[in-house]
Amino acid sequence: MKPGAQPSDKPAYFEDPAMQALYQMVLILGEELAATREQLHALIALCEEGAVPSAEALEAFVPDEQFDLERADWVARLLEPLEQMSSQSGDA
Amino acid sequence: MTKPTAEMNRSTVHALSPMQSCRDRGRQSFIFHTKRQLGQFARSTLQAEFGKAQETEDAESPAASVVPLDKHPAFAVWSALNIGSQQQMWRALGDMVSRQAPALDEAAKEWNKAATKGSIELDPELAMPTYFANTAYHGQPGGYCLDRDSDDWYAGALQEAGGTLYSRGAGTGAKDSKGQAVLRFIEATFPRFAPQRVVDLGCGYGGQTGNYVVGFPDAEIHGVDLGAGLLRYAHPRAEALGLPIHFKQACASATGFPDASFDLVVSNILLHEIPREMLEAVMRESFRLLKPGGLVVHQDVPTQRPDTPAFQQWLSNWQVAHNDEPFWQCFSETSVPDALISAGFSSEDVFESYQPQIDGPLVWYMVGARKS
C-alpha cells in the first residue's frame, strides 16, 4: 500500500508570509461566497416559480448562461485590483 | 457486442462520475473563472511586463529563469493566487469525490463484477520508481501513486476531475480530446494504417485510451500505468462506457509484453512527466514492443517547439518551480527524435509535428516513428 506523494513546498512569494496567508483566505472566502451565490440563485429562481423548493429541486436546478456570465463578471471584479496594482507599478 | 461510437472527451459522463451538487458547482465555477482570469492576466499584463523586464535587465537567458518578473509585485500576487487556486481546486474536487465515496465505491464494484469487455491486471509487488512515488503531479494530493488499500480508486477519480477543471480553466473546451488529436494525426499522416493491437503507455484513468477503441474498433486495446489507484478507476469506468480495454499495472519502460506484440504504441502527455532516463527507456520499450511496420506516436505539450516565445518558456518554467511539474524543463531540453533514433528507429522513419487541439487554442507536440 502506497501512502502517496505530498505536493512540494512552494516558494515564498512575499517577504512577509502573512501576505500569502491573506491571499489564501481571500480565495477561501471567494469560494464560499460563490457556493452561497449559487444556492441563492437557484433558490430565488425556484421560488419565483411559486412553490417552496425542495432540496432535490435545488440540486437539480441548472442555471442559465446569463448566470455564468455574472459569475465570470464578479470574479473579474474580485481580481481587478491585480490589474490596477500592475498599472500603478508600471507608472512608478 | 455493440461497438462504442461515442466521443470520449472532457464532457464524457459515466457511472463513476461524481454528481456535482449546487455548492460544488458554485465552488468549481469560482475556481474555473479564477483560473481563466489569472491566465488572461498572464497573457496580457504579465507578458507585457516580461517584455519590459527583458529590455531593462541584462538577462542572459530570460527564457530559462523566472528572474525577469520575480521582483514585480503583481507577479507575487498572481503566483500566490495561482497556486492558491490550484490547492483550492484539489480541495473542492476532493470534497466532492469523498462525499460520494460510498456510492462511487458501489458503482466501481458493480462494474468490476459485470466486466465482460476488458480486464485489469494489478501487480502489488511492483516497485514504484522514486520519481513517481515522490511526485504529487500538479499538486494532486497523494499524486498518481496513491494506493491506500486494495479497493482504492481515488487517484483516478481525482485525476479525471482535476484534469477537466484545470484544462477548462486554461482555455480548453469541453469537447477537447488528446486521443482524438492523435487519431486525427495518424489518419492524416498514415491514412491506411489499421492496427490490430494498440497499447497506451501511461494511460492514467483511461480517458484517452477510450478514443483508440472508438478510432480502431477492430483492434485490441491495452492501457499501461504504474498507478494502481488510477487503474482501479479506469477499469470500471471503461466497462461502464462499454469500452473493451485491457489495463495492466506496469512501468511504461518495462511493460512485460512480448517483443513485437503491438502495431501501435501511443502515449498522451506522458513524456513531460518523467525524467530523461525514463523517457529514453520508454523509447526503447516502444521500439521493442512494435512489430515491423508498426507505429509509435507520443503526444505532449509543445514546449519542444524551437520558436516557442520566451514568455511561454517562462510560464512553463513557472510550472516547474510552482506546480509540481519537476520534469517539464528536462522534457523541453530533450530531443525526443534523438532518443527514438538511439532506441533503434531509423532517422528517416522518425517524425515530429505540431497539431491543433480538437477544442482549444493550443497545439500539441506529436513525435514518433514507423518501425522499418
Interval B28-77: pLDDT, tens: 999 999 999 999 999 888 888 888 877 765 545 444 444 567 778 888 99
Q: Is B145 left (phi over 0), alpha (psi -120 to 50) or beta?
A: alpha
Q: Evaluate whether residue B16 is within a structural domain.
A: no
Q: Evaluate whether residue B53 is within a structural domain.
A: yes
Q: Which residues of A touch B87 (CB under 8 A)?
A: 7, 24
Q: Please, which pLDDT band fits residue B150 given cuts at 50, 70 and 90?
A: very high
Hey, are the CB atoms on A2 and B128 less than 8 Å from each other? yes
Pairing of strands B245-249, B350-356: unpaired
- Burial zone of B292 (CB within 10 Å; 0-12 exposed, 13-18 middle, 19+ buried): exposed
Give the dihedral sign, CA B91/B97/B98/B100. positive
Q: Count interface pairs A-B at CB distance under 8 A.
A: 141
Who among A2, A33, A71 is closest to B145 (CB)? A2
Question: How far apart are the CA of B353 and the nearest CA of chain A, in angstroms?
Answer: 33
Dist. CA B106–CA B210, nearest whole Å: 22
Q: Evaluate whether residue B149 is within a structural domain.
A: yes
User: Looking at residue B62, what is its pLDDT?
Assistant: 44
Q: Evaluate whether residue B14 is within a structural domain.
A: no
Hey, are the CB atoms on A5 and B142 less than 8 Å from each other? yes
User: Looking at residue B308, what is its pLDDT?
Assistant: 79
Dist. CA B148–CA B355, nearest whole Å: 39
CATH code, domain carrying B148: 3.40.50.150
Who among B23, B80, B148 is closest to A23 (CB)? B80
Dist. CA B170–CA B174, nearest whole Å: 12
Q: Evaluate whether residue B2 is within a structural domain.
A: no
Q: Evaluate whether residue B6 is within a structural domain.
A: no
Find all residues with CB under 8 Å of B14, minimum gap 6, and list them.
B237, B240, B241
Q: Evaluate whether residue B275 is within a structural domain.
A: yes
Question: How far apart are the CA of A73 and the nearest CA of chain B, in angstroms?
Answer: 9
Percent of chain B's residues with pLDDT above 70: 95
Pairing of strands B363-370, B350-356: antiparallel
Quote ipTM for the complex: 0.93
Q: Which residues of A touch B154 (CB under 8 A)?
A: none
Dist. CA B151–CA B34, nearest whole Å: 35
Task: Count other C-beta atoms under 10 Å from residue A67's C-beta.
Answer: 16
Q: Which residue has the higher pLDDT, B312 or B269?
A: B269
Q: Evaluate whether residue B9 is within a structural domain.
A: no
Who among B29, B41, B135 is closest to A82 (CB)? B41
Hey, are the CB atoms on B84 and A24 less than 8 Å from each other? yes
| Tally of domains within chain B | 1
Q: Domain range holding B98?
A: 21-372
Q: Which residues of A touch B139 (CB under 8 A)?
A: 7
The label of the residue with cell 481580481 reads: A79
